[in-house]
Chain A
Amino acid sequence: DQQVKQNSPSLSVQEGRISILNCDYTNSMFDYFLWYKKYPAEGPTFLISISSIKDKNEDGRFTVFLNKSAKHLSLHIVPSQPGDSAVYFCAASAETGETSGSRLTFGEGTQLTVNP
Chain B
Amino acid sequence: KAGVTQTPRYLIKTRGQQVTLSCSPISGHRSVSWYQQTPGQGLQFLFEYFSETQRNKGNFPGRFSGRQFSNSRSEMNVSTLELGDSALYLCASSWISWREKLFFGSGTQLSVL
Using a CB-CB cutoff of 8 Å, which residues 86-116 of chain A contact chain B? 89, 91, 93, 96-109
The reply to whether B105 and A43 form a contact with Cβ atoms under 8 Å apart is: yes
B interface size (C-beta, 8 A): 29
Q: Does B42 contact A (CB under 8 A)?
A: yes
Q: Does A64 contact B (CB under 8 A)?
A: no
Q: Does B11 contact A (CB under 8 A)?
A: no
The reply to whether B55 and A34 form a contact with Cβ atoms under 8 Å apart is: no
**B-binding segment of A44-52, A53-61, A69-77:** A44-52
**A-binding segment of B14-22, B69-77, B92-100:** B92-100
The reply to whether B98 and A100 form a contact with Cβ atoms under 8 Å apart is: yes
The reply to whether A101 and B55 form a contact with Cβ atoms under 8 Å apart is: yes
A interface size (C-beta, 8 A): 30
The listed residue (B43, B56, B98, B107) touching A106 by CB distance below 8 A is B43
The reply to whether B99 and A32 form a contact with Cβ atoms under 8 Å apart is: yes
Query: Closest approach, in angstroms, between the C-beta of A94 and any C-beta of chain B?
Result: 10
The reply to whether A43 and B107 form a contact with Cβ atoms under 8 Å apart is: yes
Closest B residue, CB atoms, query A43:
B104
Contact surface of B with A, Cβ cutoff 8 Å: 4, 31, 33, 35, 40-45, 48, 50, 55-56, 58, 90, 92, 94, 97-107
Q: Shortest 5 CB-CB distances between A and B: which pairs?
A: A101-B55, A43-B104, A101-B56, A102-B98, A106-B43
Known: A43-B106, A44-B43, A102-B31. 8 other contacts (CB 8 A): A6-B42, A34-B101, A36-B104, A44-B104, A101-B31, A103-B45, A105-B45, A108-B40
